[in-house]
Amino acid sequence: MRYQVGETGRVVLAHFADGDEIIANLSGIIRKENIRCAIFYLLGGITEGRIVVGPVQDDVRPPEPTWRELVESHETLAVGTVFWYGDEPRIHIHGTYGKFDTVKTGCLRGEARTFLIMEAVVIELKGVNAVRDLDPVVNMVLLRLTGPTSQL
């Protein structure tokens, strides 16, 4: 394991209204504010989303994702990171999505819309050097630390 030590920079608080597209708007904030590395939290309602809940079968590489649809409103609590892949911010979100007694947990991908309200708190990470790069073994764009690192 390799790691870097940094500190927090700016904090952005965002309010998404009913029907707002979550990932595209979050990406827009990141781009407009030129935030290169960040962690964020999402809290609120979601609808019309898709999540990956794991590989289809065995834990093979590259994994074949299993998808679940969020076709109705769901309560949402999620955490994510942002690192750039080339000229684009890449957002990675894992969350829990609940409706009555049914709860799903997974990686939110693609379009997702706000149901009533979504709050986002974006915390910029300063002093770390990280990007997303294509990992050919898993065929996914993953975190890569650049520059000096420490090891455990």
Q: Which residues of 85-121 are buried (b: 16+ CB within 10 A; e: fewer)?
A: eeeebbbbbebebeeeeeeeebbbbeebbbbeebebe
Q: Are 115 and 70 in contact (CB under 8 A)?
A: no
pLDDT at residue 56 in the model: 76
pTM for the predicted model, two decimal places: 0.93
| pLDDT tens, residue by residue, 23-78 | 999 999 999 999 999 999 999 999 989 999 988 777 788 888 899 999 899 999 99
Which residues is 145 bridged to in the sheet? 130
**Antiparallel, parallel or unpaired: β 7-17 and 2-3:** unpaired
pLDDT at residue 109 in the model: 93
pLDDT at residue 13 in the model: 98
The residue-averaged pLDDT of 77-106 equals 97
pLDDT at residue 114 in the model: 97
d(CA 78, CA 94): 6
pLDDT at residue 94 in the model: 98
SS (H, E, C) 26-81: HHHHHHHCCCCEEEEEEEEEEECEEEEEEECCCCCCCCCEEEEEECCCEEEEEEEE
Architecture label for domain 2-151: 2-Layer Sandwich (3.30)
| pLDDT tens, residue by residue, 106-152 | 999 989 999 999 999 999 999 999 999 999 988 889 999 998 999 99
